[in-house]
Structure 1
Amino acid sequence: MIAGQWTRRPRSLRGRLVWGVTLLAAAAVLTAQSTGVLVLHSWLLNRVDQQLAEFILPDQAFADRDALPSRPAPDSVTLPSDFRVTFYSASGEERGTLGGGQKPGPKLPRSTSELHLREGRQATVPAESGDGHWRVLWKDGPVQRTTFVVALPLDTADEVMSKLLALNAGILAAAVVGLIAVGRWVVRLGLLPLTRMENTAQDIRAGHLSLRLPDTDPRTETGRLSTVLNDMLERLQQALQQREFSEARLRRFVADAGHELRTPLTSIQGFAQLALRHPDRPAAQRREADEQVARNAERMNLLVDDLLLLARLDQEPTYRTDPVDLLSLAADAVSAAAVRAGGEHRVTLSPLDEQVEDAELDVVETVGDPDRLLQVVNNLLSNALVHTPPATPVDVRVGTTRAGAETGGTDRPGRTSAFPPLVEGTPVCVIAVVDQGPGLSPEEAERVFERFYRVDPSRSRDHGGSGLGLAIATAIAQGHGGRLELDTAPGEGCTFRLVLPLVETDRSA
């Protein structure tokens, strides 16, 4: 492995938590044990130091007040416990010791010049042999200018400390093992929600997109995380469904466009081949063939224009924001439709709320692109004239209201639209095209705003169009911040409603 490229293998969250908790707890136990050992050791030394400080040399230690005993008799002086006393003369030389026992005595020098002790201060010195220790104290003797060193062994204290250290080591080892075992169980239990999330995520990755993460309790971190991830998954699924829908719609659009274009192209190709094969046809036949070629070329040209317009509308075009008088716009559309109807339909213009007594037509002003809005109304009127029987009345209603289930702009049973509803109560202006024709079934109404959809597939452009008119009108309505909707039922006619947000216009402009 190249130096500098070595990377530490990452540990799992469960392992890091277990070892982290174990190390912290072991450090706490070790700190407590160390504190206990130090306190006990200090207490034992203080006990020994207190005994040394309170030690009083027996009078029998000096048979002669003028001389120190060189080698006292074994039973001449009895010292308490394990005390050892070493005497030094006025000249600093060692003169003898008192005290018995089988333990090796303290290792002390032969003269006070090598003693290295401070008078009245306890110190610890090693034993003469072995690994024992003695606690010693240097004091003045009863004879002038004489001194002695009193000593006590630390075997008891050392033995207590050794046993305590061994016991603490065993407790620490048991605590570490117990902490690892219990910590693994506690961490596994605590991370159980994450484990369930992991299993669910693997199932989602396997293709079960409808699954959602459990444990959505907002009081816990994993619950809040699950909630956020569920919202994200919901949006991703909706985006995937929308993409699939868009792809299917695009494929259907391309197929329908190809189908619509193939018919006039086939006709043009057929008449062209006929002209090449029979150049000596009569003039009447040639004129009829030329008329058919021109008619199909015009039909194809209109279809291409509609496709290009839809493409521009899909690219979020910019609309003009001029003041628009919807009443005048609707009147122009009604006049043009009456001419096209040729007396077969009665086309009228009336106020939006015609049920109100003495209701009158009034100016309805908004802001938008007047040419595009006029195109929407013309498409709606053309759709009503083509798809209703002759002599069917068609009424165009114009006015202002507020969005609602009865007035339009919001959803309700029997109403369809390609876009979401407006907020209920929003001030809106409405142009409604109402006919008293046969109406549509719910299945037909659900698809009426789709591109290339025709209620009667057998209709040609000359008798019903290619199914792009309502799609164009819907795109224009959306571009103006409104929507196009349909209220219909079999036998009850159709009400196409262009709903636009009411925008105050500057009359002084």
Structure 2
Amino acid sequence: MLVAMIALLAAVCLVVGSISLLLLRGFLISQLDGQLDSVGHRFAQSYGHKPPCGTEQDGGPPCFLLSPGQRFGTLSARIVDGNMSQSGVLGGDGTPHDIGRRDDRDILDVPVDGQPHTRYIGNLGVYRLIAVERPDKSAVFVTGLPMTEVNTTLVRLGWIELVVAAAGLMVAGAASTLIVRATMRPLQRVAATAGRVAELRLDRGEVALAERVPPGDTDPRTEVGQVGAALNRMLEHVASALEARQASETQLRQFLADASHELRTPLAAIRGYAELTRRSEDYVPPDVAHALSRVSSQAERMTSLVEDMLLLARLDAGRPLAREPVDVSQLVVDAVSDAHAAGPEHRWTLRLPDEAVLVTGDATRLSQVLANLLANARVHTPPGTTVLAELSGGPAEASLRVLDDGPGIPPSLLPHVFGRFARGDSSRSRAAGSTGLGLAIAHAVVVAHGGWVGVESVPGRTVFTVRLPMHGASPVSPPHNGAVAAAVPATASNGTAPNGSVRNGAVPSATVPTAAVPTTAVPTADSHGQAR
């Protein structure tokens, strides 16, 4: 904007300077022509009278040049029958000088019309010439005045205008910069307010949107004030919408927590009565025994779902977790052992660092994260799939990766794998024993520990990565490697997994038997994650 303004001022200065030079040139030439006309007619009228030098001689300079009042550089010539009879120019020493035959042609070409004409005459430079014929047509008298003073004046004025315009542009540029900065300062404050709002996390949790444009920048009489007032109104509407959303989410979380808590007692009673009836010594018909077995099984399943929902509700409410040093290496060994016992048809491999990896957190919840990730790999990959659990530790964070060489996750489903109740089909089948909350719980627990969890998947390679801050370290920042992060809304989403269901299954602890894994059952892995 400032550059355009300076360019416009420069163009205006150029136009004004050019017009002033043209007008001045016209005025000076007009003044010179008046003098030339007077000198020319006086020269023509004086011929035939007694010349100042005594006698006129053909071939020499005209004696008219010695008349009083002649300017230095005045040119005069007499042409008889088309030939130069006399020609000369008044020198700076006050004496006439011969022009020279080489410049006669320029003088002879001047039209005899009594009008001034511009000609360039050899070493003399640019002249204004006028040709006047005697009344008896016996001779033509040419008189000229140099344009040196006119050109010198124009050049001098041009330089003056250039210097003045340059100085004026610099002053105007400096003044414009100060004015623009002062004018834009309120807009900068409005932009700063919008920038602070843009940096707020508005997608989840309770948001206190207190940022507003200062009252001094909301004057409706100015354009910037109108923008500031409009931004304040928009922020008011956004704050109201966020408060309504937060109230709705709080009410929903409270309802889930209350419902889950209230359902635990009747579910426990159903399971207890069903088990008591099955263990009764009285004869129970086979169909009744089968029905009781199904009631007990579904009650256990419902209990697992309620426990998961209650855990998510507590995590969403910001319920603090236990904070104590946890040996993640031991948790990984135990989780892989349990997974091997639950899925012996898979190849389970393990890679651990030489030293223990300690983080600060809740050992029970972290164990649940590991169990859910390994169960996810077991349930949604075919038998014979190799699953690698790899743990590494650094100065600031611990990294756990669960890799498998299964069919992978479709790209359309990747953004939703950490969603709650995510299902791959409309029937919401639970044939694989999944509650649809396993990865959502893993996400919530990892985030509650100040960590990050993401997934990358292509056919033949799926990698779930969990990053946790080391004991005493600050929270982990998310990477920028293109992995799908676990920052997804807690809503159901649809997609198709390789086997017809979403790879998002939480396996109840009762279905993963705790068994020690022999050394040969968990082979080591090479650098590519393949079993040896």
With structure 1 as the length reference, what TM-score do the two structures score?
Answer: 0.47
With structure 2 as the length reference, what TM-score do the two structures score?
Answer: 0.45
